[in-house]
Amino acid sequence: MAIPLLVAVSYGVIAFTVVFLLLFAIRHYLLGYSRLRISRPKDSMELVGFHMPRVTVLIPMHNEERVAGDILQALVDSDYDWEKLEVIPINDRSDDKTQAIIDSFAKRYPFIQPLHRTGGQSGKPAALVEACARATGEILVLFDADYVPGRAVIKMLVAPFADPEIGASMGRVVPHNIGDSLLSGLLSLERSAGYQGVQQSRFNLGFTAQFGGTVGAVRASALESVGGWNPQSLTEDTDLTFALLLNGWKTAYVNRAECYEEVPRSWLVRRRQLSRWVTGHTECLHNYWPDLMRSQFLTAWEKVDALFLLAMYWTAPVLVLGWIASLLLFFTPEAHQTPWLPVALAFLGYQLFANQATFLEIGVASMLDGTRIRSLLLPLNLLNFFANTGAICNALRKFYWNRFWGSGGDGWYKTHRTRGSSGSGGFQGAAAGSPVATRSARGLYHARTQGD
Amino acid sequence: MQQKASGGNPSPSARPAAGERTGRRESIYPHRSVRALPMSSVRLTAGVGLALLITVWSVWNAVPIMETHSQVAAAIAGWAGLPINGWTPIGIFPGLEPASGPQLAIPSFQEVSEGARLALVFSIIALLLLAQRFSLFRNVANFLIVILIASAVANAVFDNFRLQSTAFGQIWLRQEMLVWLILPWVLILLFVIPQPSVWRGLGWVVFLQAYGFFFSALRMVFVLGVLHYTGLLFMPPLWFLLGTLSDLLFILFFYSLAIHRSSGDLWGVRETWQSHF
Amino acid sequence: MTFLLFALLFCAIYYLHFSLAHRAWRQIRGRQSAELDMGYVRLEDYFGQSFRSKMANWVRTLPRATNSTTGLRVFDKGGERIFVAGAAQYPAGRREREILVIEGDFSCGRDCEFERELMVKGNCTIGEDTHLQALAVDGTLHIGYSVRVRRWVDAVKHLTMNEDVKVMSRVTSRTSIELHPGAQAQSLFAPEVFTEGRHENELQIEMAPPVVVQLPHLDNRTAPANGYDPAKLFSMGGNTYLYNGDLHLSAPLHLRAAFVVRGNFSCPKESLLEGDLKAHGSITIGAASVIKGNLVAGGDMTLKPNTYFQGLLHAGGALRLTRGVRGLREGLPVAAYAGGVMTVESNVVVNGKLASAQRVVAVSTPVAWLEAARGPAAQA
């Protein structure tokens, strides 16, 4: 009795897995194809430079001596009108040279108004809450400390705000340290698919883009209307995306507003980053899905898209559940008598395990970006796929365990920077001869501050 | 100050009418943020047509296909020195003529040599070392270790955990036959519809369908060989690695090649990226 | 033993599936991405500026060809040549295959063809039906009837585009651009872009409407009036309001906040829009209105006669600027963009940019339009 029940349950699990992941696979295919065929992307590039409200740039920093100089110099080089620009580097209790670097810039450039935090809740969301109270800009632009924005990025991020419905805008992040490790090379493919493929596609289809919290901008009044940043959230950006959406605001995606970032080079760092994303994202799912379903501002398709977005990390445990069911069937000789076993395995293999649709997105983005050499790394992305699956399952297990027992979850974890450390070679991402490359490459920057 | 063409604004690329005078350049290569490859009904129709043709042909010729697969596997097994005692008819799907399954001795756990058991231990150690050395490989390695241990336990505890080579051939052929039926549809989604060249895309589909067939025979012989020498100890991880995962692997490998080629082609062709006005 | 060899061969074949990935990884290991141009800034007259700077560099550095004479300097530039001459006049029907730099004034007769770029340091007149590749002029530029330019045009002084001139890309001037009916381009940018007839008297519109709809009007207990239903209004916060449905006002509007209409929007003449307005569908602004904020429409947008805008216009579909529309503000140029065709009638003046994903085309104001605008029943 037990064995037939086990076999039946296993088949049921596989059937559920197939259906669940097939829906996600279809979504991936639709988004991939949709991006490929967009001949006229929704973009506000023609308005760039014609909409110039007062802007405050916020840069949360905690022990960022390796990268602080690069981003501050890049902002000084920006082509945004200094009269309308305010930069607030938020030094959140750094115990390295971050404060000295920020102060040296603030001395030279009056639009740089540092905020040195010495108390209060730690972490990026709390730092942002404090900085926002001091910001004078109509639009708040956010960069992570390891990002290096190009000269025109602020203008590009701000242009969509000519539309009063836009509450936030999001640019594209491009990893510069693609050769630091195999992981960073593979992550660059993933980022490409995520921004060039999925974000642009979703925005063009009329769905709200996902605000990423970096290389993004938010309308100060919209932020205020949703109660500001959620300092309890591990992913304050995703939280804000959905808080804005529920109030009728949209997030715009600006594919041309490209900005270099540093992706994790070691799996340990990546796993922690992923764990934070999974926890914060799933928290948002639980917090927002009932309101999303009831929202009168959203169409049915927007609701479906929002649900898919919020539930995307669930695919990993469902996939693992399918594998476990197929293993149980494999170790149960009784199951071998039925022709459904290979049917189940084949479908599981193709629709779930394979999940080739995500690889299609990478392929589409690689074609559009023209990244020829990196596209050949695709078979190795299988390793990344397995690694992500494990890390996501683990993070979800912790999240639900904590939620069930009411214990505290993970704290905010700062992604480790490697730029400027031995072996990573510093930031050389800008094209040769570019003023930013010349002025803000780490070595030159340090030479200058030493001179100071 | 370095300046670049305004990326968001691909210049027009209207084709001149016959006899109309032309300048040397028709357009500016657009920035990647606004590139696109418009869908073509030709690619869609050709792709779906070919996939349908292959599927119908495969269903119609299921028995000969499986027979040929067995013959190819037999030839490879011969080169690999496997002592196959012959091929016996096995039913693959109800209502279909039986195909041939290999007859090869697969020892039980009690019959396998000490060498095989040592190999199991060494495999686990090797996987542990790999997991330590390559963090990206850790999850796969851990999963393989778990199923290796589970396999050893199942072999040791359950006497009825036996599998005949013909039954293995049956499971393998059933699965691969299903794969071959799904394969053309997966292939057109990756190689035909979203690629610039329809003919090359169709070529990829035909080639990969054939490649999948031969790669399957090769993998099956390898697994049979391992089963012959080590019993069922390694069967679960081999099934995991060399089953549908390998089908995915070869698709990904050739897909990366196709993308590499298409990216190169599109780089020089401004017109392909742009819509006309 | 044989099987062992086979197993090794099998592993090698299996590895082949990773071999290219492995090779690619070895190629990029230790490298950094250089795919972004960090120094990129957006310049409306980039093409003209870039060409002038490249040309100055070529003339300075390229070797001079042996057939150079006193009046004509020739430079070899790879597979093409650059001709540098003083002032010149080309007769009708002349065909020029080389890059041409004229250091004085230049004019050409009708039906000429310039297969490569033309740069003129003085004033320039292009004869009708001429075909050009691209054109940079340091003085004034007069482009004759039915001229075709495959790429861009840039002038330092006043630029005139005569009837039926087609420029397939951008047109820029540092002074002004004058468009005659039928002239079209993908985008036009100048301190002043205007269509013919700008000096004519403005149309007379009746003034002083009896009722004004004040938005936001937050009392949702009020009964619907003048096409406005207070029950459909929601606050998004931040002095921004959302109206769920079409909004067609029958009395002039005074908009005092940012406003999003999930549908089509229209307001009658002499409305005052102080906040930004977005409609998911179309937007029609009545005659003689004043728009101080930005207008964004998911669909088509029409600004009726004598409307004055001070911000940005962005239409997902077609955009029509009718007779007498003015676009200007202090400190920053204005811009109007259409995803579809932008039609610009007579006597329109915009200090800034007109751009379209398809084309901006100047048209004569239809007679029917003029009559309707003058009539008492056509005030909305």
Q: What is the pLDDT of residue A451?
A: 26
Please state, in angstroms and rounded to a whole number, the distance separating the CA atoms of residues A427 and A164: 37
Which amino acid is it at A228?
G
Does some domain include residue C9? no
Q: Which residue numbers of B have CB closer than 8 Å to C's CBs?
A: 1-7, 9, 11-12, 14, 21-26, 28, 79-82, 218, 221-222, 225-226, 229, 246, 249-250, 253, 256-257, 277
pLDDT (mean) for B233-256: 89
CA distance linking residue A63 with residue A59, whole number of Å: 12
- Residue A217 binned pLDDT confidence (cut-offs 50, 70, 90): very high
Query: What number of residues does chain C have?
Result: 380
Say if residues C156 and C136 touch (Cβ distance below 8 Å).
no
Strand intervals (E) in B49-195: 87-90, 99-102
Domains of chain B: which residue ranges? 56-106+163-277, 110-162
Answer with the residue of higher pLDDT: A392 or B276: A392
**Is the peptide bond preceding residue C216 cis, with omega within 30 degrees of 0?**
yes
**Same domain for C139 and C232:** no
Whole-number pLDDT of residue A344: 63
Mean pLDDT of B223-249: 88
Whether C142 and C280 share a structural domain: no
Question: Which residues of chain B make contact with A33, given a CB cutoff of 8 A?
Answer: 39, 193-194
What DSSP assignment string belongs to A253-316?
EEEEEEEEE---SSHHHHHHHHHHHHHHHHHHHHHHHHHHHH-SSS-HHHHHHHHHHHTGGGHH
Interface of B with A in 78-97 (CB under 8 A): 93-94
Residue A445: pLDDT above 50?
A: no
Instruction: Name the β-bridge partners of A115.
Output: A90
Range from A347-356, B166-175, C18-27, C161-170 carrying the lowest mean pLDDT: A347-356
| DSSP classification of residue A232 | T
Closest-CA distance of chain C to residue B218, Å: 8
pLDDT of the residue at C379: 43
Q: Is residue C337 within 8 Å of residue C318, measured between CB atoms? A: no
Interface A-C, measured as beta-carbon pairs within 8 A, has a size of 179
User: Amino acid letter at A71?
Assistant: I
What was the pLDDT predicted at B167? 82
Chain A residues within an 8 Å CB radius of C236 = 222, 225, 247-249
pLDDT score of B23: 47
C168 and C122 within one domain: yes
pLDDT at C42: 85
Query: Subunits with at least 3 CB pairs below 8 A relative to chain C?
Result: A, B
Residue with tokens 């084949």: A346
Position A347 pLDDT exceeds 90: no
Query: Do C141 and C78 belong together in one domain?
Result: yes
Residue C367, both tokens: 């007679």
Instruction: With a cut of 50, say whether residue A38 has pLDDT above it.
Output: yes
Question: Using CA atoms, how far apart are residues A267 and A382, in angstroms rounded to an integer?
Answer: 15
Q: Which of these three, C175, C205, C221, is where a domain ends?
A: C175
| Nearest Cβ partner for B263 among A38, A367, A434 | A367
More confident residue, A30 or C198: A30
B132 by Cβ neighbours in 10 Å (0-12 / 13-18 / 19+) ranks as exposed
Q: Is residue C257 part of a domain?
A: yes
Say if residue C260 is in the same domain as residue C346: yes
Alpha carbons B165 and B73: distance in angstroms, whole number? 13
**What is the model's pLDDT at position C375?**
53
The token duo for A154 is 């602020």
Q: Is 0.90 topped by the overall pTM?
A: no
Q: Could you tell me the two tokens for C14? A: 């299996």
Asked whether C374 and C355 are in contact (CB, 8 A), the reply is no
Q: How far apart are CA A129 and CA B3, in angstroms?
A: 37
Per-residue HEC secondary structure of B209-274 comes to HHHHHHHHHHHHHHHHHHHHHHCCCCHHHHHHHHCHHHHHHHHHHHHHHHHHHHHHHHHCCHHHHC
Number of H helices, E strands in chain B: 9, 2
A51 touches chain C (CB under 8 A): yes
Q: Is C272 a member of any domain? A: yes
User: What total number of domains does chain C contain?
Assistant: 2
Is the CB of residue A375 less than 8 Å away from at least one CB of chain B?
yes
Same domain, C258 and C340: yes
> Which structural domain, as residue segments, surrounds residue C360?
213-374
- Contact with chain A for residue B269, Cβ under 8 A: no
Q: What average pLDDT score do residues A282-288 get?
A: 91
At B275 the pLDDT is: 42
Section A411-434 average pLDDT:
47
pLDDT of residue C308: 93
Residues C236 and C122 in one domain: no
Same-domain status, C232 and C153: no
Q: What is the pLDDT of residue B128?
A: 93
Do C41 and B229 lie within an 8 Å CB cutoff? no
Give residue A23's pLDDT.
87
**Predicted local distance difference test score (pLDDT) of residue C206:** 43
Residue that is last in its domain, among C122, C157, C175: C175
CA distance C122 to chain B (A): 24
* pLDDT higher than threshold 90 for residue A169: yes
Query: pLDDT band for position A107 (50/70/90)?
Result: very high
Q: Are C188 and C207 a contacting pair, CB within 8 Å?
A: no
Q: What is the pLDDT of residue A12?
A: 87
Residue A441 reports pLDDT greater than 50: no
Residue A382 contacts C where some CB pair is shorter than 8 Å = no
Residue C225: strand pairing partners: C228
pLDDT number for residue B272: 61
**Last-in-domain residue among C124, C147, C175:** C175
- Average pLDDT along chain B: 81
- Give the CB-side neighbour count of residue A40, counting CA atoms within 13 A: 14
Q: How far is A377 from chain C (nearest CA, A)?
A: 4
At residue A430, the pLDDT reads: 37
Closest to A28 (Cα-Cα) out of A322, A347, A356 = A356
Which one of C26, C38, C44, C265 makes the best mutation probe of the A interface by having the most chain A beta carbons within 10 Å?
A: C38
Q: What pLDDT digit, counting tens, does each position of B28-73 carry?
A: 677 888 888 878 889 999 999 999 999 999 988 888 898 899 899 9
- Portion 52-71 of A in contact with C at CB < 8 A: 52
Of A40, A336, A353, the CB nearest to B171: A336
Comparison of pLDDT for A238 and A55, the residue scoring more: A55
pLDDT over 70 (residue A375): yes
| B contact chains, 3+ CB pairs < 8 A | A, C
- Name the more confident of A37 and B221: B221
Mark whether C137 and C248 lie in a shared domain: no
Q: How confident is the model at residue A411 (pLDDT cuts 50, 70, 90)?
A: low
Q: Which residues of chain C have pLDDT under 50?
A: 201, 203-210, 377-380
CA pair distance A48, A152, nearest whole angstrom: 9
Per-residue pLDDT reduced to its tens digit, B7-30 = 333 333 333 343 444 445 555 677
If one compares B200 and B9, the residue with the highest pLDDT of the two is B200
pLDDT on residue B4: 37
Q: How far apart are CA B201 and CA A367, in angstroms?
A: 15
Judged by CB atoms closer than 8 Å, whether chains meet at C49 and B22 is answered as no
Q: Does residue C1 lie in a domain region?
A: no
Sign for the pseudo-dihedral over CA of C217, C219, C220, C222: negative
